[in-house]
Structure 1
């Protein structure tokens, strides 16, 4: 393979913050286009590689590595990633990007954006006695401004309408350091690895304090993400057994720790309230065991059995707190709820090839989980699943597959927490019957034409849930086409439709638990794409084009059983996206080419949560007045590609 360097320029025709969310293509103007993929391998086994992509953008990636094959290697890597969320936010606060927000000066526009920068270095050392030692260090920073909600309860009266809230510019100043060390041993029958992982997280900001937009000179404060650390030790073993069998096992134990000091009970001196501790003193032990046996005792039969055990032992201190509940009347005390659990999963699978054109696969899966925490809604859940897949190839140009799966989840008695609806069942804990069905057809009517159609259906029935999510359905269909009229022309097209439906019921809290209202949701996703590539036009030109179009619509229907037909309805949600990429490559010489590119994107959304909502649209809540970030924009690029040995 040749090494390659690409250098050129691009032009963005207009500002489009969302278009460049993860690339940095956000502002109108010229940008540097630079990529490199270079390498060299010498006859003595030494080598080096250099790879870089998007070097002229905020999404740049660079990696340098070198070594001697079978002896040692080392690398240096830099990775940068922006996350541009919104450039339409406006706030009353001064001090954006810092820990203290004050009022004054009217509305100030600001960008909701972060940038992650990651620097990694590492290497490995191998011996001729099947041993290998690896070490790597990663330093990551994440900086910028996000948004967070904050609420201030005034007069210390816990009742509705006694709370002032605001969306706040939240400072992001994170630093994460990670270390990975491992020792590996490998022979023909046995492989072994012992590894250690460490992660240290530090937040440069301890808390966010803000002035109440509705009562000047009054302040609120809330803690930001706390400093924490994680340590993990992992052992992995693989061994080849007789009868074409292999066993693998993974054992790991880890410790998470967090001991950040609490904030004061209130920012108001003398407001009362005493914290039972100065910090959480959080400590969580994690244990994981994975075992798998795979065997092929007969030429036509393959068997596998696997077992996974996960334990979370939360040793964090439990204390009694006097909470401040800002959205409803509450009194008394509560205890924090450290979550501990034990989870067992095993899977038995058999695959039998009946003949050259037919095979059958089936099996059984079991998943049980025991939870241990204060006021646990459901201590135990058990889920059992059976599945089967039938594959048939009746002709050389046709392949068929049918798939089915059925599962049932139940468990111990459900105990609703004291401050929650007593008949509400949380969907991840509730009894559930799930059915999955699938089918696919692969058809090759000619050597240069292929067609693939697949259909899948998932249905969930929460049969014992009176309030909450009661049912969900998700049918989806996909059609893929590929056509190659000759060696120099390839074309493709695809279409996917996904329908996500769900139904939930509510109860207002009357003396008799009766369903008062129902909500039905239906999200439909259409995705279409078509493209073509033509190469070796007059032995000089390669050209290509890709078009992608997507439409997402969300509908909801609310029914009030006490007043049918009179319930207020939410507007529909619609999102439309279209993308066109066109490119051409001209070979000026055997090692020098000119590349041209054009990219167009159009994004448009109707979202009632943003459209027409200003900073003061909701009483006693200071919003940011963001828009849906609609855009229509183009990028033009021209570059020179040079290849060398």
Structure 2
């Protein structure tokens, strides 16, 4: 875990911990090659020598069964639906004998052809001359079953069922619950690619490739109708996904003994078949909305991801200055463009009639020019000393025109084009530039001890930002030491300090609104002056990592890995003020016999985040911003425990093999809230995740080139999430929800397959 991602970790833990921890089980249960003739440390016999020197192809086919529907259970590999599936896998290689004249070859690999997560790759060519590659892969991502009252699912216009009863809030919608229909939120990706490569005389190689990707399905989108105060009304909507991405790459490479050079070109294009999603307003007319906005005539419309293009040309080079020194450099120039036509200010014709100041242009005409350059020199002037220096330049120059837009708030009001209107907004074409200089060196003190260190300076410049310039200095020191032949250890310490130019929290507000409006706002800010964005705020970071490996006997191996990180946001009065992470992992392996091995691990991680905020009312905003009685504090704590145990038995002669893996994971997330005397807070229930997984696998060699494989996989997953569990579609007064629950399932998978080797 890097400290940079530290503030995001609690947001991901509840949804990612189980997926991350089931990966080893999935690999063991579904991707283990079960090579029954796998050589061991003993001298190979004649059969094993033939296995190592002769081409053997593999065809596997069989049947599997999944006991229950379980969205989270292997959802990215097609194991999420109850029922049978096919086991089909192929590995094929044809080429001439190693002592023959032909260098032609054909290689085919296909995996999981009986599942929706199938992939296949075909490559053919002539060694030292050319190669052609064709590949295909498919990946479903299923979120689960949700409920919605809307009809027209999958299209770009959502309507309400006949007899709909609108209300000012969800409690008054008497036909909401009876009209809920179940839908599946799922996106499936399909990708096909073609690649060509040709070797030319003089150490040159030309390559080209194209890739086409399609993504289809449904995901959720929040749609809001309303403009300010208490009048916004919202619904979670099924957004149709119909995306196409096309990529093209071409390169010319030269590989000399002292000099290497490469020219590249990349083109990518994204196209969305749906430009917008329109929905019928399910809420009745309320105060603050213009006439006709409520049900049945009112509608809302939201723009969907626009079509865009990206071009990039790059050059890379390397030069061996001497036997001990090498210089590498690269530069890439790119351009991103987006020019989809703008949607109208509103989808409601009655509101459109009020427009007196139209859109300033027909489309954004968005353009960002990118420049990325790297320069690195590395050298080993002495057998014990090595050093390197590098510089990186990353510039994103936003050339998008800046204009004033007098928008209509949430398809709910007439256009307000007055000089002091809060609807007068300017787009902010933000640019970004980062420069990084790094020097590192290492010294081998003796045959068992190495010392290394690094110094890095990073400067980031942004426009239309709360902080124009951010500076960060990093220092790190690492010591590696071997203690005899049984123990080795490493310790790494680092510190990073970030500061920069004066923090102007009101800059985006002042540059995004018309000056006549900002002059009417007390204090001229939208966020409290003490609030700091964590990725730009002053910060002190300290980290340490320790790794110890211990091998007391040839049969036993132990490992210890510990890490510690502290982040202190020294000048953040509001926002993220501190973050801490601790992790400890113990692992062991035991090989009592040549055919038998055991392995296991235990890991504990804790993450703490301190957050401070303020509750500010519009009428008393200046007083509330400095009133301690209106401050609140949240302490987030995540605790993750995981453990695993595995065994493998591969006797010789290799007629059969057995294996088992057991995984356990538990995560707990708690939020402790405290507040000033003017605020009332209630305790939030903890969120938990539990995962138990068992995989068994075995193989038995039959007569000749046939063998049989058996797999069993069990998983029990339990989770609680107060934001989802027991929350009905009408739980919130002003929002129609999707009525989904956190995952909770028990699933079994059994698979039997035959393997033919030829």
Superposed pair shares fold, TM > 0.5: yes
1:594 aligns with 2:708: yes
1:147 corresponding residue in structure 2: 220
Please give the alpha-carbon distance, in whole angstroms, between the structure 2 residues aligned to 1:338 and 1:575: 41
The answer for unaligned runs of 5 or more in structure 2 is: 1-54, 163-178, 285-294, 414-419, 507-524, 617-621
For residues 441 and 20 of structure 1, do their structure 2 counterparts lie closer, same or farther at Cα, with a shift above 3 Å needed?
Answer: closer
Equivalent in 533, 538, 547 of residue 440 of structure 1: 547
Give a deviation string over 1:256-294, Cα, whole Å, max 9, x none: 000011111111124234322221110000100011111
Counterparts of 1:140-179 in structure 2 under 5 Å?
Answer: 140-153=213-226, 158-179=227-248
The equivalent residue for 2:742 is 628
Contact 1:553 1:575 in 2 (8 A): yes
Q: How many residues align?
A: 636
Shift of 1:408: 0.5
The match for 2:484 is 395
Residue in structure 2 matched with residue 571 of structure 1 by the alignment: 685
**Mean Cα deviation higher: 108-117 or 120-129:** 120-129
TM-score normalised by L of structure 2: 0.82
Deviation at 1:324, TM superposition (A): 4.7
Name the residue aligned to 1:286.
370
Q: How does 1:206-221 map to 2 (within 5 A)?
A: 206-215=275-284, 216-217=295-296, 218-221=298-301
Query: 1:513, CA displacement in angstroms?
Result: 2.4
Partner of 2:302: 222
Range that drifts further, 178-187 or 320-329: 320-329
Confirm or deny that 1:482 pairs with 2:589.
Answer: yes
- Contact 1:579/1:599 (<8 A) preserved: yes
1:192–1:237 contact (8 Å) kept in structure 2: yes
Residue 504 of structure 1: CA displacement?
1.1
Q: Specify the alignment match of 1:552 in structure 2.
A: 667
Q: Contact 2:346–2:408 (CA<8 Å) still a contact in 1?
A: no
Deviations 1:439-488 (A, max 9, x none): 11110011121111011011000011111110000011111111111211
Q: What is the rounded CA distance, in whole Å, between the counterparts of 1:483 and 1:356 in structure 2?
A: 28
Preserved contact between residue 544 and residue 565 of structure 2 (Cα < 8 Å): yes
Distance in 1 between the 2:160 and 2:748 partners?
39
Distance 2:338 2:473 in 1: 36
| Displacement of 1:586 | 0.1
Structure with larger RCO (C-alpha < 8 A, sep 6+): 2
The 2-side partners of 1:419 and 1:315 are apart by 27
Cα 1:23–1:595 shift into 2, 3 Å: same
1:213 touches 1:622 (CA, 8 Å); kept in 2? Answer: no
- Determine if the alignment matches structure 1 residue 258 to structure 2 residue 338: yes
Partner of 2:754: 640
Distance 1:280 1:96 in 2: 29
Contact 2:66 2:83 in 1 (8 A): yes
Give the direction of change, closer, same or farther, for the CA distance of 1:100–1:379 in structure 2 (3 Å limit): same
Structure-2 change in CA distance of 1:506 and 1:478 (3 Å): same
Between the aligned partners of 2:421 and 2:129, the Cα distance in structure 1 is: 67
Q: Deviations over 1:196-246 (max 9, x none)?
A: 000011001111000112233221001101000111111110111115111
Describe the SS at the equivalent of 1:21.
Answer: coil
Q: Which secondary structure does the structure 2 equivalent of 1:260 belong to?
A: coil
Distance in 1 of aligned mates of 2:323 and 2:260: 18
Aligned partner of 2:677 in structure 1 is: 562
Q: Secondary structure at the match of 1:392?
A: strand
Cα RMSD, aligned residues only: 1.7
Q: CA deviation at 1:160?
A: 2.3
Match of 1:61 among 99, 119, 139: 119
Q: For 2:270, which of 185, 193, 201 is the aligned residue?
A: 201
- For each residue in 1:587-640, what CA deviation from the matched residue of structure 2 results, as whole angstroms up to 9, or x when unmatched? 113521100000111111110011110100000211110111211010100001
The alpha-carbon deviation at position 5 of structure 1 amounts to 1.1
Q: Distance in 2 between matches of 1:353 and 1:107?
A: 69
Structure 1: how far apart are the matches of 2:683 and 2:652?
57
Unmatched 5+ stretches in structure 1 = none
Residues 1:528 and 2:643 aligned together: yes
From 444, 450, 471, the counterpart of 2:557: 450
Structure number having the greater strand percentage: 1
Establish whether residue 116 from structure 1 lines up as the match of residue 189 from structure 2: yes
* TM-superposition CA deviations, 1:131-182 (whole Å, max 9, x none): 10001010110000111000011xxxx4322111000000000001110010
Contact 1:18 1:629 in 2 (8 A): yes
Q: Paired residue for 1:312, among 396, 420, 427? A: 396
1:347 match: 438
Query: Which residue number corresponds to residue 91 of structure 1?
Result: 148
Q: Do residues 240 (structure 1) and 315 (structure 2) align?
A: no
| 1:334 match | 425
Conservation of the 8 A alpha-carbon contact between 1:243 and 1:297: no
Q: What is the CA deviation profile of residues 89-108 of structure 1, one whole-angstrom value per residue up to 9, with x for unaligned ones? A: 01000000100000006111
Structure 1 residue 132 and structure 2 residue 202: aligned? no
Residue 583 of structure 1 pairs with residue 697 of structure 2: yes
Structure 1 segment 493-512 matched on structure 2, within 5 A: 493-509=600-616, 510-511=622-623
Structure 1 window deviating more from structure 2 (359-368 vs 274-283): it is: 274-283
Q: In the alignment, which residue of structure 2 is the partner of 1:468?
A: 575
Look up the match of 2:257.
188
